[in-house]
Amino acid sequence: MPIAIAVTLAFGQQPAGAQGLFDMLFGGGIRHNPEGEFPPPPKPRKIRPAGEGGGGVRISSPTYNTYRADKLIRIDFKSLLPAPPSATAQDAAFVPSVTSTAFRDAVAGLSDYELFAEPDIAKALIAYYSANPDFIWVSDNAPNGRAQDAVRVLGEAASYGLTPADYSVDVPAAATSATPEERTKELVRFEMALSVRVLRYAQDAQSGRVDPNRMTGYYDFPAKPFDLEGALKTLAHTQEVRTYLESRHPQNAEYQALRVELEALEASEENEIVVDPKLLLKPGESSPELPKLLTLISRNLDDEMGGNYGDVLTRLGKSELYEPDLVPVIKAVQQRAGMKGDGVIGPRTVASLAGTSKADKIEKVEVALEELRWMPSDLGSPRVFINQPAFTASYIDNGEEKLKTRVVIGRVTNQTAFFYNQIKQVDFHPYWGVPQSIIVNEMLPRLRSDPGYLDRAGYEVTDARGKKIPSSAVDWGAYGANIPFSVRQQPSEANALGELKILFPNKHAIYMHDTPQKSFFARDMRALSHGCVRLQDPRGMAAAVLGTTVDDIAEKLKHGHSTENVTRVIPVYVAYFTAWPDMSGKVEYFDDVYDRDSKLMQALDATEAVRTPSS
């Protein structure tokens, strides 16, 4: 069914870093090092045996789990057969469509009925009909208008990126030659099946089909409680079934824009030339995908490109070997697309030439719709929205993108989590509290052979009571993964956080901050940090969340270390969407930096497999 939705979204200093400090203190001067907040130190001069003092122990990053969906259970209808509860126990506002006696008589037709559901839905179903023994979806010995509306909505599930088969129900025919007993049994079974499917649909629409937190420790979303029994009660009292069910979906412009995109994709033609989106081809290597790319380049030659490379493309346009003469062609194409012209054909080069295939776009949009269901229906205004695959952070207020800046996110080995929170404060000239994972994995090997280097490099060490102690006084070789000390870097030009950080307390110790490594922002692929989000325009973001000007931020920075609380409610989304609409509603597509889409598809497939045998 067409969606029919009109969508317009109202929506310097040379870096030093830790390695530089090593070089400055121990020889070689200060050199630029392009790795993270705290680069791996040089190999220690003395290495203890692996079993001594916890040597060799590391703090590992979260992992991805093979998703296992909850198994369905067969609903036990026996508890509906005994005498009904007293009238005082029933909902006083309940208005039965037929007499309670008729329903109780019909329940006998459920004695051998095999209907499966999620455990919480099965429990809610029995609880509701025990307290309210009457039909919701049946009137006058036939499915009523309420049922017809519900079935239509369930049948349109694909327009939301859901699977219609998950909600299918066999609807009894209006006219039948069945006996009265057979008809009653058919109708009461339809009643129960439709209630189960409606509850599944409503719960999926509100919270998503999978529990993201069970997929990986990189996902962190609060539960979205849904009163299943209350939903049936509401549906029993309203004729606005469609309105109620559709209201369970996220009510934001981004969700609607993705739905419009999904409908357009379904109706579109597949790309004539489809190139492997994961192609990686270096000069001298061969691939059958290369002639496809060269054909796309030849089709779009302008006078300048044609004059420079037309002869080469004519001569080598069918070549599967990436010959030296083709390298300048690819470099020119890359530079025109705003990329670094390195001549290596990778996913970004393929996407710039061939675009994303229809099938890949559909999958990205369906993944994005599922991920949006994990988030609040109203995203809030103002808000900060970080989209990791796009490497951008935006400040959005009253439907306007007031600020958009490039960001650096975590490396594949130090991935940035996917969660949302609320911005609390801005620290000027901050201390950097070194995460335990960096202390253990990257500092400890050096500390075992040189326990005093933190003292010389501008770091403070404190014990569990907060007392400062010299780094040289600690027997670092006595500890493994559990170190009872905190380490922080003092404010300075070499501080890994730069001149300010923006905090939103979370268990992942992730925040936004400045960085002395400005050159990273010129790169196309910016997954380069230890997990925190580095901002190209930190002063602009600080001014936005504090409701002030960049000049005011500059003035505050003149006065050393300080902290200012954010007094407004500003949600921040550290999000991960490979398909996301811009403020005009146009959906853009991005590389799956952490390969998370495939993990989500596995979880959705696992959920689908569990639901398939249900009746």
Fill in the amino acid letter for 449. S
Q: Cα(first)–Cα(last) distance of the chain, in Å? A: 25
Q: What is the pLDDT of residues 138-147, one digit of tens each?
A: 998 999 999 9
Contact 134, 96 (CB under 8 A): yes
d(CA 435, CA 439): 6
pLDDT at 482: 87
Mean pLDDT across 364-388:
98
**Strand partners for 459:** 489
DSSP letter, residue 521: G
Mean pLDDT across 478-488:
88
pLDDT-derived band at 494, boundaries 50, 70, 90: confident
Strands 418-422 and 219-220, by their bridges, are parallel
184 token code pair: 């009653």
Lowest model confidence (mean pLDDT) among 284-288, 476-480, 604-608: 476-480
Over 50: is that where the pLDDT of 240 sits?
Answer: yes
Q: What is the pLDDT of residues 531-551, one digit of tens each?
A: 999 999 999 999 999 999 999
pLDDT at 83: 56
pLDDT at 396: 98
Lowest model confidence (mean pLDDT) among 7-11, 203-207, 354-358: 7-11
pLDDT-derived band at 305, boundaries 50, 70, 90: confident
Mean pLDDT across 504-520:
94
Angle at 151 between CA 145 and CA 156, to 5 degrees: 130
Q: What is the pLDDT of residues 37-53, one digit of tens each?
A: 333 333 333 334 333 44
State the virtual CA torsion across 433, 438, 439, 445 in degrees, nearest 10.
-150
d(CA 166, CA 409): 37
pLDDT-derived band at 592, boundaries 50, 70, 90: very high
Over 90: is that where the pLDDT of 122 sits?
Answer: yes
Over 80: is that where the pLDDT of 23 sits?
Answer: no
pTM: 0.81
Sign, Cα dihedral of 579, 35, 542, 425: positive
Q: Could you give the count of Cα atoms lying within 13 Å of 101 in the half-sphere of its Cβ? A: 0
The two most distant CA atoms of the chain are separated, in Å, by: 96
The closest alpha carbon to 525, from 362, 288, 349, belongs to: 349
Contact 435, 570 (CB under 8 A): no
Q: What is the pLDDT of residues 75-108, one digit of tens each?
A: 999 988 755 555 444 444 444 444 457 788 899 9
Residues of the chain with CATH 2.40.440.10: 377-600
Q: Is 472 helix (H, G, I), strand (E, B) or coil?
A: helix
Sign, Cα dihedral of 454, 460, 466, 470: positive
pLDDT at 33: 32
Q: Is 120 helix (H, G, I), strand (E, B) or coil?
A: helix
pLDDT-derived band at 2, boundaries 50, 70, 90: low
Fill in the amino acid letter for 476. W
Helix residue spans in 38-163 (DSSP H):
100-106, 119-131, 145-155
pLDDT-derived band at 347, boundaries 50, 70, 90: confident
Mean pLDDT across 359-370:
96
For the beta carbon of residue 171, count every other beta carbon within 10 angstroms. Answer: 15
Over 80: is that where the pLDDT of 32 sits?
Answer: no
Angle at 573 between CA 572 and CA 575, to 5 degrees: 160
The closest alpha carbon to 162, from 268, 245, 66, 73, belongs to: 245
Question: What is the average pLDDT score of the chain?
Answer: 86
Domain 377-600 in CATH 2.40.440.10:
yes
Mean pLDDT across 491-500:
88
496 token code pair: 């890994």
Q: Could you give the count of Cα atoms lying within 13 Å of 463 in the half-sphere of its Cβ? A: 8
Q: What is the pLDDT of residues 552-575, one digit of tens each?
A: 999 999 999 999 999 999 999 999
pLDDT at 309: 87
